[in-house]
Structure 1
Amino acid sequence: MQLYNTLSAKERAALIEEAGKERLTISFYKYAHIGNTSLFRDHLFITWDQLEVLGRIYVATEGINAQLSVPAENFNAFKAHLDSITFLENVRLNIAIEQDNMSFLKLKVKVRNKIVADGLNDNAFDVTNKGVHVNAEKFNELIEDPNTVLVDMRNHYESEIGHFKNAITPDVDTFRDSLDIIENDLKDHKEDKKLVMYCTGGIRCEKASAYYKHKGFKNVYQLEGGIIEYTRQVTDKNLENKFIGKNFVFDHRRGERITDDVIANCHQCGDPCDTHVNCANEACHLLFIQCKKCAEEMDNCCSSECKEIHALPYEKQKELRRGKTVSNKIFKKGRSEVLKYKK
């Protein structure tokens, strides 16, 4: 029985292009107790592989976090399968604002210790004692209140290209880094301010709101469905849009444009740009912002060194990589010293 991918990303992309069928990019999460995570993982893979679902799904004893792509014609069958699983019945699905048939090219269902790496000891506080979920309309009202502190729970490379007006955007590389920093920065306002949080789809705020209530914050709110759902409600209800720029997403698109504002800069030349790329040198793969002009000049690489390696025959590149671990620059997300105009 097949429980893993048999096609490369390149082969899958060719099949998707040949099929010419519309696909939907979707994300969802759910905190729930899952007893046998390996069995649940295999069940998802077998069923979703038959439905031609592609994506990155994490399963843990605390729940599921899924980002995926499904053929539009198979959406109803996919939704029916979700509804057949007790804790996923009528789970909120965040459907991407901008669709791309190539958003995911493999189906990866992985068992993890947690569905989001938060570094928290969940036994130390009540993870179900969460903040108040608010829709786009209420969110807009709250962030206009002078007694509100608005906090972006995402990482620096996400908020760099887009964020809500007047939001605090922590200069952090990971979600776990932001938790203690935010608490310390706002320690004097645990009782007199409303703490309002947002993230991409809501999952990080789900845990963070319970954590901050445990830490003594009295008025904690979170944007229901995150930026993705906010954008949909703003459009559907003709509300004022208070988000500027692009929403970073964790698939091959790397971003959804929310407004025409370009608030970031190319990390190589400094010109206005908000397009994230990965360095074409596979031994580097650094995530950074690069404009079209620099992409042409640098052959889609982050540095002259990477450009030289990328120009070598592929077999020679593989030989150079043999026996070496990938540089930790991949985790710096735009902070590499080779980038002159990094944030």
Structure 2
Amino acid sequence: MQLYNKMSAKERAAMLEEAGEDRLTLSFYQYANIGNPELFRNHLFVAWDELQVLGRIYVAKEGINAQLSVPAKNFGNFKEFIDGIYFLENVRLNIAIEHDLKSFLKLKVKVRHKIVADGLNDNSFDVTNKGIHVDAEGFNKLLEDPDTVLVDMRNHYESEIGHFKGAVTPDVDTFRDSLDIIEEDLKDHKEDKKLVMYCTGGIRCEKASAYYKHKGFKNVFQLEGGIIEYARQVENKGLENKFLGKNFVFDHRRGERISEDIIANCHQCGEPCDTHVNCANEACHLLFIQCESCRETMQECCSTECQEIIQLPYEEQKKLRSGQHNSNKIFKKGRSEKLKFKK
């Protein structure tokens, strides 16, 4: 029984390119009581590997959080499989606005302590006492209410390239960082304001809305299905789009364009740009915004130091990123003094 990837990302990319078959990028989540996450993880891997599903999936005792790429031809079988799991039957699938053959290049199903790292003690409050879910139309109406405070529950590198008009966008690196900051900023308005939250697909708001109700907020709302579902409903129903720019996504695409507005800038030259890249130096791998001109000049690197490193032989580069101390510097999200035009 195969429970791991046998093919490298590079090999998989070449295979997908050669096959040229349509794939759907989608995500879903569900809070549920999973008694044996390891066994459930193995069950998913075997079934989805057979269906050629790729993606990043987190399983915990509290539920599942999945971002996937599914062959279009296998979507029916995929849907039948998840509907056969009692707590996933008819679960909402957030299907991407833009699709890409190579949005994911491996199938990774991991067992975690939580499906979202929120840093909360779930036993201290009722996680099922959530806020009111609203669709795109209801959300737009709430935004017109002067008593509404709209809060982006995502991180700084997500909201930098796209957010709703008038939203509070905390300058945080992680979801857990935003929870206390938002409560402190709004502590005087727990009863007289409507707290309206949104995130990418809705999962962060599920826990946050219950947490804020526990903290005394009386009027708590959350955007059903997040930005992904909002964009779909706006298009299907002909509603006004109140989202500016791109929606950051956690796959190789790194973003879906929701409006033509470019609200960010290249972190190296300052020109309007909202394209996220990872530094070509694997010992850095910094996530930052880079325009085409700087991409060419800097060889996809965030700094001249990283440019010099990628010229070294592969084995020397490998040594530079070995060891725990160096690995802690990897996967930073746009936080670097080398980026002159970072907001």
TM range (shorter): over 0.9
The alignment partner of 1:86 has SS state of coil
Contact 1:173 1:332 in 2 (8 A): no
1:266 aligns with 2:266: yes
Is contact 1:37–1:60 with CA below 8 Å preserved after alignment? yes
**Secondary structure of 1:317's match?**
helix
Secondary structure at the aligned position of 1:213 is classed as: helix
- Tell me the number of residue pairs that the alignment of Structure 1 and Structure 2 aligns: 343
List aligned pairs for 1:116-127, cutoff 5 A: 116-127=116-127
Change (3 A) 1:322 1:210: closer
Q: Is the 8 A contact 2:130 2:213 kept in 1?
A: yes
Residue pairs, 1:56-71, within 5 angstroms: 56-71=56-71
1:335 to partner: Cα distance: 1.2
Q: How does 1:1-343 map to 2 (within 5 A)?
A: 1-323=1-323, 325-343=325-343
| Native 8 Å contact 2:321 2:327 kept in 1 | no
Structure 1 residue identity aligned to 2:337? E
Provide TM-score, normalisation by structure 1.
0.98
**For the Cα contact (< 8 Å) 2:285–2:331, is it kept in 1?**
no
Output the amino acid matched with 1:204: R
- 1:10 is displaced (CA, Å) by 0.2
Counterparts of 2:185 and 2:257, CA distance in 1: 30
Cα-to-partner distance string for 1:14-70 (whole Å, 9 max, x where unaligned)? 111111100000100000000000000000000000000000000000000000100
Task: Give CA deviations for 1:260-301 in whole Å, capped at 9, x if unaligned.
Answer: 110001111111110000000000000000011111111100
Segment drifting more, 313-322 vs 97-106: 313-322
Asked whether the equivalents of residues 329 and 336 of structure 1 are also in contact (C-alpha less than 8 Å), the reply is: no
Amino acid corresponding to residue 99 of structure 2 in structure 1: Q
Range with greater deviation from structure 2 (327-336 or 33-42): 327-336
Counterpart residue type for residue 174 of structure 2: T
For 2:302 and 2:79, locate their aligned partners in 1 and report how far apart those are by CA, in whole Å: 41
Moved over 2 A (4+): 319-332
Instruction: Give the partner amino acid of 1:223.
Output: L
2:68 counterpart SS class: strand
Deviation at 1:8, TM superposition (A): 0.5
Indicate if the aligned counterparts of 1:25 and 1:95 stay in contact, CA closer than 8 A. yes
Distance (whole Å) between structure 1 residues aligned to residue 271 and residue 337 of structure 2 = 18
Show CA shifts across 1:61-90 (max 9, x none).
000000010000000000000000000000
The one-letter code matched in structure 1 to 2:236 is D
Query: Is the 2:161–2:246 contact (alpha carbons within 8 Å) kept by the matching residues of 1?
Result: yes
The Cα shift of 1:317 comes to: 1.3
How far, CA to CA, are the matches of 1:64 and 1:321 in structure 2? 32
Q: Distance in 2 between matches of 1:108 and 1:219?
A: 38
In 2, distance between residues paired with 1:192 and 1:83? 42
Task: Kindly report the root-mean-square deviation, in angstroms, between the aligned alpha carbons of the 2 structures.
Answer: 0.9
Q: Deviations over 1:234-265 (max 9, x none)?
A: 00000000000000000000000111110001
Letter aligned with residue 181 of structure 1: I
Structure 2 CA distance for aligned equivalents of residues 293 and 329 of structure 1: 26
Kindly provide the amino acid, as one letter, of the partner of residue 229 in structure 1.
E
Q: SS in structure 2 opposite 1:285?
A: coil
Q: What SS class does the counterpart of residue 326 from structure 1 fall into?
A: helix
The 1:65/1:11 distance shift into structure 2, 3 A limit, reads same
- AA in 2 matched with 1:72: A
Counterpart-to-counterpart distance in 1, 2:20 and 2:119: 42
Q: Deviations over 1:80-119 (max 9, x none)?
A: 0000000000000000000001000000000000000000
Q: For the Cα contact (< 8 Å) 2:198–2:227, is it kept in 1? A: yes
TM value normalised by structure 2: 0.98
CA distance in 2: counterparts of 1:217 and 1:146, whole angstroms: 17
User: In 2, distance between residues paired with 1:81 and 1:211?
Assistant: 33
Aligned mates of 2:160, 2:212 — CA distance in 1 = 24
Is the Cα contact below 8 Å between 1:287 and 1:330 reproduced in 2?
Answer: no
User: CA deviation digits over 1:156-207, x for unaligned, max 9?
Assistant: 0000000000000001000000000000000000000000000000000000
